């Protein structure tokens, strides 16, 4: 694993791209980036050059092609400390990460990822509110497995669970979602993270603006 390349979409819009990117950064693993503007006219062809599923992110490791954020996490976990060391925490982290991977459809639909924007006036549906509550409950369940001074991430130190939920925290910030104190603290941790800030800075320099309201989540991501 010496020649890693991560194929991603627009940093402004691609929450799924952020996940393995942030994980690699926190693991301290060097990698190249290939960014494909997801709404360009040749996006499908460009993504197809790298991705068997037609979606980003994709991790290229020499001849090996790894797609889907969770599969990338498990691929890296064979060599790096992606998950908590303690067995109960690791089980919880994986369940939470999987729940994120396949769930929260209303939240993702109604609060599309746009890490360079602030929005007001979005009124989540009952379904989205229930999902927001569930995310908060999950975060608190993770945090309750650690004692006070182990660090500000879900299990103290940054793990694959944080990689999966960091984009959700940014959505909550973008849309000004009202959160209880513990969840607010976690959103602040995500926002203040050095690597997250670098991602957002890069997003601000991207010139692609896709739709009038900058909605961009649904296309070409997984």
Binding piece for its own copies, criterion CB under 8 A, among 27-35, 84-92, 170-178, 199-207: 84-92
Which residue lies nearer to its own copies by CB, 42 or 133? 133
- For residue 53, state whether it binds its own copies (rule: CB under 8 A): yes
- For residue 101, state whether it binds its own copies (rule: CB under 8 A): yes
Q: How many residues bind its own copies (CB under 8 A)?
A: 29
Which residue lies nearer to its own copies by CB, 23 or 203? 23
Q: Which H/E stretch holds residue 191?
A: helix 181-192
- For residue 104, state whether it binds its own copies (rule: CB under 8 A): no
- For residue 211, state whether it binds its own copies (rule: CB under 8 A): no
Site string for its own copies, 137-176 (x = CB under 8 A): xx--x-----------------------------------
Which residue lies nearer to its own copies by CB, 66 or 166? 66
Using DSSP, state whether 49 is helix, strand or coil: coil
3-state helix, strand, coil in the chain (%, to 5): 50, 10, 40
Q: Give, in order, the Cα–Cα distances in Å from 158 to each of 30, 61, 142, 166, 196.
A: 17, 23, 12, 10, 12
The binder of its own copies chosen from 95, 144, 192, 201 (CB under 8 A)? 95
The binder of its own copies chosen from 22, 47, 70, 170 (CB under 8 A)? 70
The binder of its own copies chosen from 2, 28, 41, 102 (CB under 8 A)? 102
Q: Strand 32-35 and strand 4-8: pairing? A: parallel
Is the CB of residue 6 less than 8 Å from the CB of residue 24?
yes
Which residue lies nearer to its own copies by CB, 73 or 203? 73
Is the CB of residue 163 less than 8 Å from the CB of residue 19?
yes
Which residues lie below 8 Å from residue 65, measured CB to CB, with a gap of 6+? 50, 51, 52, 58, 59
The alpha carbon of 164 is separated from its chain's Cα centroid by a whole number of angstroms, namely 5
Using DSSP, state whether 131 is helix, strand or coil: helix
Give the shortest CB-170-to-its own copies separation in angstroms.
Answer: 19
CA proximity to 126, closest of 102, 141, 110: 110
Binding piece for its own copies, criterion CB under 8 A, among 31-39, 85-93, 146-154, 170-178: 85-93
- Please give the residue ranges that form the binding site for its own copies (CB under 8 A): 52-54, 64-71, 74-75, 87-88, 91, 94-95, 97-99, 101-103, 134, 137-138, 141, 222
């Amino acid at each position: 694993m010496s020649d890693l390349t991560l194929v991603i979409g627009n940093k402004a819009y691609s929450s799924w791209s952020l996940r393995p990117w942030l994980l690699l950064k926190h693991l301290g693993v060097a990698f190249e980036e290939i960014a494909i503007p997801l709404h360009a006219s040749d996006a499908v062809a460009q993504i197809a050059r790298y991705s068997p599923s037609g979606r980003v992110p994709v991790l290229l490791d020499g001849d090996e092609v790894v797609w889907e954020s969770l599969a990338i996490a498990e691929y890296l976990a064979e060599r790096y400390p992606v998950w908590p060391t303690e067995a109960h925490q690791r089980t919880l982290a994986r369940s939470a990460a999987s729940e994120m991977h396949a769930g929260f459809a209303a939240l993702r639909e109604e609060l599309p990822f746009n890490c360079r924007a602030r929005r007001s006036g979005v009124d989540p549906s009952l379904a989205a509110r229930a999902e927001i509550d569930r995310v908060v409950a999950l975060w608190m369940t993770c945090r309750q497995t650690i004692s006070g001074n182990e660090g500000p991430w879900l299990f103290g130190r940054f793990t694959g669970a944080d990689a999966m939920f960091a984009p959700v925290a940014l959505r909550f910030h973008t849309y000004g979602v009202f959160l209880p104190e513990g969840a607010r603290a976690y959103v602040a941790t995500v926002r203040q993270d050095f690597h997250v800030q670098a991602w957002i800075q890069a997003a601000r320099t991207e010139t692609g603006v896709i739709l009038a309201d900058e909605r961009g989540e649904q296309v070409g991501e997984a």
